[in-house]
A = this chain, B = another copy of it.
Amino acid sequence: MGQKLLMKGNEAIAEAAIRAGCLHYFGYPITPQTEISHYMAKKLPKVGGVFLQAESEVAAINMVYGSGSTGTRVMTSSSSPGISLKQEGLSYIAGSQIPAVVVNIVRSGPGLGGIQPAQSDYFQSCKGGGHGDYRQIVLAPSSVQELYELTVEAFNLADRYRMVAMIMGDGNLGQMMEVVEFRNEEPIEHYDKQWATVGHENSREQNVVTSIHLNPAVLEKMNLDLQEKYRVIKEKECRYEIYNQDADIFIVAYGIVARIAKSVIEMAKDKGINVGLLRPITLWPFPDQAFDQVIDKAKAFLTVEMSSGQMLEDVKLALNGRKPVYFHGRMGGMVPARDDIMKEIRNIYNLHVKND
């Protein structure tokens, strides 16, 4: 590993993107992720790249679509309301199979809501906020170091599968500073993008980037291809962390909440309660198999989110009734407190572990 720096999460994303070979950024300002733009505006012109402030989030995602269509590594970033505006574009990018990295530093909603951290865009990102049957890879880092590493990874995944890889953080993750240790060289994967629209130079067939197929049989085939790709990704690309594998109770949490959960685990240990953490790192594909690894010993699961309970549904789907699932959530920018989580753990302990 190389240089160590104290860095804001948003800046780490921007720096990581540049290191990953992303020299094109199109975005529109919105709190709490503006530092990504500021960083890019400063750095990209110095490395021969392009920073462009679009007229809107809608324009930004379409600039990304255009840039990505030429095989260029490209990124945009925004926060919740802005990401909502990108939904049509995201669906097009999915249908046309263009690689792109999209960052959502989630703030609290709905509507204009607030600018404090939230995880309430899980459904939108993981189920499909746009129209049609499509998916995007959703990565949920929980530290500034991971923001850096997963951003680099996102570009590889996007290129590998020709689709959107989304970094989903929250306002705190974007704003906070931690130490990042940079690699001396990034593990950039290179793909031969023969599909890219870069001008055929009279030396090959025309390339066309499109998502329209008026013939239903053709469109169904396109959809089946997409579904097959998604199946492969689900098989190969699930990422997660299991902490304290032999625990009786598992907290399921991602992002910054997972870190708070870790401190609860220590508190619980002091009280003789054996709590573990199951932290999905890919939210889509959701790591169902992680649950299989702990289910034999685990008595119950507690999902903790900064939402009304969105990932909760995927946890239930993964468990399919095999073990009880509880939920603790905060909304509106409130962050779950260790004491409150601990209280839930104690209740679950009394119900499912103590007299077992």
Contact = CB atoms under 8 A, between A and B. Distances in A.
A187 interface: no
Contacts of A221: 332
Interface in A49-87: 58, 80-81, 83-85, 87
Most B-side CB within 10 Å, residue of A87, A94, A121, A222: A87
Most buried by B among A112, A118, A317: A112
Contacts of A93: 111
Contacts of A334: 216-217, 220
B332 A131 contact: no
A91 B83 CA distance: 12
Contacts of A58: 58, 85
Interface residues of A, number: 69
A222 B131 contact: no
A125 to B, nearest CB: 9
A335 to B, nearest CB: 8
Contacts of A131: 80-81, 83-84, 106, 109-110, 113, 120-121, 124, 129
23 contacts: A83-B131, A92-B112, A94-B110, A94-B111, A95-B110, A95-B111, A108-B223, A109-B132, A110-B131, A110-B132, A110-B226, A113-B213, A116-B219, A118-B132, A120-B131, A123-B123, A124-B130, A128-B129, A133-B310, A218-B332, A220-B332, A222-B332, A223-B331
Interface of A: 58, 80-81, 83-85, 87-88, 91-96, 106, 108-116, 118, 120-121, 123-124, 127-134, 210-224, 226-227, 307-308, 310, 313, 316-317, 319-322, 330-334
